[in-house]
Structure 1
C-alpha cells in the first residue's frame, strides 16, 4: 500500500455531526475529497447543499434527534468513520452564577450526551466488522476553561475528553480507534457570534471583545486562530490508515495557545 493509498478513504461510509457550516462543513468536504461516502447532520440543511440525499436534518442534542440519525445510518449499513463536530456555547456572560440548571443541561446535551448516544447506537456495527475510526472534537477549554460565558461548555468538553479516552481503551482491542481533536479558537460564524456576546454583555466594541478573548487565553503565539480547513485536514489524517496505530490521543490544534514544553 502506497502512502497515497493510506490517505484515501474510498469505500468507507462516514457521519459528521454539525456538518452544515463552519468546521463541520469543512470536515465533510475534506472526507469527501479523500473518497468517503459522507453523511452530514445538523438541525437545518443549507439551501445550497450539494448532497441533499446525504444530509440528515436532526437535533443531536435530543434523544429523538440522535435516534433519527442512527436509524438512517443503520438502514444504510452503518458507518466506518464517525466524527462528532457539533458543539457550542450559549450561556450568558457573568460567570458561574449566571448559568441556570436549564442552561447547564443544554450545554451537556449538545456537547457531550449527543455524542454518547450516537456512539452507543452506531459503534456496534463497527465492532462487528472489527474496524472503524471515531473522532470527538473537544476544545482546549477542557484544560483552559474560560469563566465568562463558556464555563458550562468547557466542563462538558472536559467530560467528552475523559469519555473519549475511556472509550478508546475499551474499543481498541476490538479494532475500533477513538481519538480526540482539541481546537483552540477557530474562525467560524459561531466564533463571530461569541465575539458579539462578549461585546454586548460587557458594553465594549468587537475589537475589544476579540482582544479580551485572546487575553483570557494568555495570547495566541501564532497570531491568529485556526481556519476550519486546517482542523479538517487534521481530522482527515486521524481517521485514515496513516494513523492506524494512534489510539486515545488528543491532538491540540491551537496556534500554540496551550503552553507546552
Structure 2
C-alpha cells in the first residue's frame, strides 16, 4: 500500500510529550519532533538552560507519583489528548563499587526514575490513546539492559532491563487497540555532560579529551563505529519511529550503539 508522506510536516496536528526533554538526547528528540510539525511538551525537574518558546515546559519530578500525576493532569487540561509519549527520562546516580555499597534507597531511587516513571505515565495516557485508536509510546532504555556494568551502574542496568521487558509486554496488550509501543536502546551518547566528563578524565590523567574518550570506549569493550553517538542521531531514529512511515512497527527494541554489543 503506497502512501505519500510529507517528511517535513509529517507530525502536524500531533501532541508529543518528551520526558527529560530539556537537555541532551531528550532536547534533541524534542527539537526533531517539533521540526516535523508536532506540538511538543517537555518535562524535567528544572527549567531548560536555553528556553525554547516553541515548546511547552512542565516542571516535575517524575521519580515521584505526585510528579507524574502533575504532568498527566496538565497535559490533559492544556491539550486534551496526547498522541506521542517519549519516555526519555533516565538517570544513574548510584556509587561505584558493586553490590556491597548499594543501599535500598539507591535501588529504589533508580527504579523510580528509570522504570516506574514510564509505567505511571503510560498508565495515565493510554486510556485516551486506546479510545482514539491511535498513539505511539517510545521507551528509551539502554544497551546496559543487556550489557550491564556491574561495578558502576547495577541498579540502572537492572531497571533498564525491566523497562525493555515491560515495553514488549505492553505492546502485546495494546498494539491491537491502535497504540504502537517501541523501545530504543542507545549505547554511549556524547551529550554535553559526557563531554564534561571526558574533560575531567583528561585533566585528571594529564591526557587529551581524545585519549579519555578512547579509554571509555575500551572500558565498554570497544565501539566498532569508532565513536559515541550524537544526540541528534538517536533523535532521528525516534523521529522515524513515531512517524506514519513506521506504522507497522511495534513491540520491537531498536539498538543504536555503533556496534557496541558484541552478540546478535
2:59 aligned with 1:79? no
Q: Using the TM superposition, give the Cα deviation of residue 213 of structure 1 relative to its aligned residue in structure 2, in angstroms.
A: 3.1
Which residue in the other structure is 1:62 paired with? 64
**Do the aligned partners of 1:165 and 1:178 also contact (CA within 8 Å) in 2?**
yes
Distance of aligned partners of 1:104 and 1:96 in 2 relative to their CA distance in 1, 3 Å threshold: same
Distance of aligned partners of 1:101 and 1:52 in 2 relative to their CA distance in 1, 3 Å threshold: farther
**Do the aligned partners of 1:146 and 1:216 also contact (CA within 8 Å) in 2?**
no
Aligned 1:93-132 pairs, distance under 5 A: 93-132=96-135
Task: Tell me, in whole angstroms, the C-alpha distance in 2 between the residues paired with 1:163 and 1:191.
Answer: 28
Task: Tell me, in whole angstroms, the C-alpha distance in 2 between the residues paired with 1:128 and 1:32.
Answer: 25
Which residue in the other structure is 1:10 paired with? 12
Q: Using the TM superposition, give the Cα deviation of residue 224 of structure 1 relative to its aligned residue in structure 2, in angstroms.
A: 0.5
List, as ranges, runs of 4+ consecutive aligned residues in structure 1 with deviation greater than 6 Å: none
Task: Encode CA deviations 1:190-230: one digit per residue, 9 max, x unaligned.
Answer: 43466689x59xx8668676445322321000110000000
Which of 43, 48, 53 is equivalent to 1:41?
43
Task: State the SS of the aligned residue for 2:43.
Answer: strand
Count of aligned pairs between the two proteins: 258
**Do the aligned partners of 2:41 and 2:57 also contact (CA within 8 Å) in 1?**
yes
**Do the aligned partners of 1:61 and 1:114 also contact (CA within 8 Å) in 2?**
yes
Distance of aligned partners of 1:196 and 1:171 in 2 relative to their CA distance in 1, 3 Å threshold: farther
Distance of aligned partners of 1:12 and 1:196 in 2 relative to their CA distance in 1, 3 Å threshold: same
TM-score (norm 2): 0.91
TM-score (norm 1): 0.92
2:220 aligned with 1:217? yes
Distance of aligned partners of 1:128 and 1:169 in 2 relative to their CA distance in 1, 3 Å threshold: same
Give RMSD over aligned pairs: 2.2
Which stretches in structure 1 are left out of the alignment for 5+ residues?
none
Task: Tell me, in whole angstroms, the C-alpha distance in 2 between the residues paired with 1:89 and 1:4.
Answer: 38
Task: Tell me, in whole angstroms, the C-alpha distance in 1 between the residues paired with 2:263 and 2:234.
Answer: 20
Which of 164, 178, 193 is equivalent to 1:175?
178
Which of 131, 136, 139 is equivalent to 2:139?
136
Task: Tell me, in whole angstroms, the C-alpha distance in 2 between the residues paired with 1:196 and 1:102.
Answer: 30
Task: Tell me, in whole angstroms, the C-alpha distance in 1 between the residues paired with 2:16 and 2:126.
Answer: 12
Which stretches in structure 2 are left out of the alignment for 5+ residues?
none
Distance of aligned partners of 1:79 and 1:205 in 2 relative to their CA distance in 1, 3 Å threshold: farther
Task: Tell me, in whole angstroms, the C-alpha distance in 2 between the residues paired with 1:155 and 1:196.
Answer: 28
Task: Encode CA deviations 1:68-114: one digit per residue, 9 max, x unaligned.
Answer: 00001111212000001110110111112111110111100110100
Distance of aligned partners of 1:211 and 1:152 in 2 relative to their CA distance in 1, 3 Å threshold: farther
Task: Tell me, in whole angstroms, the C-alpha distance in 2 between the residues paired with 1:152 and 1:196.
Answer: 26
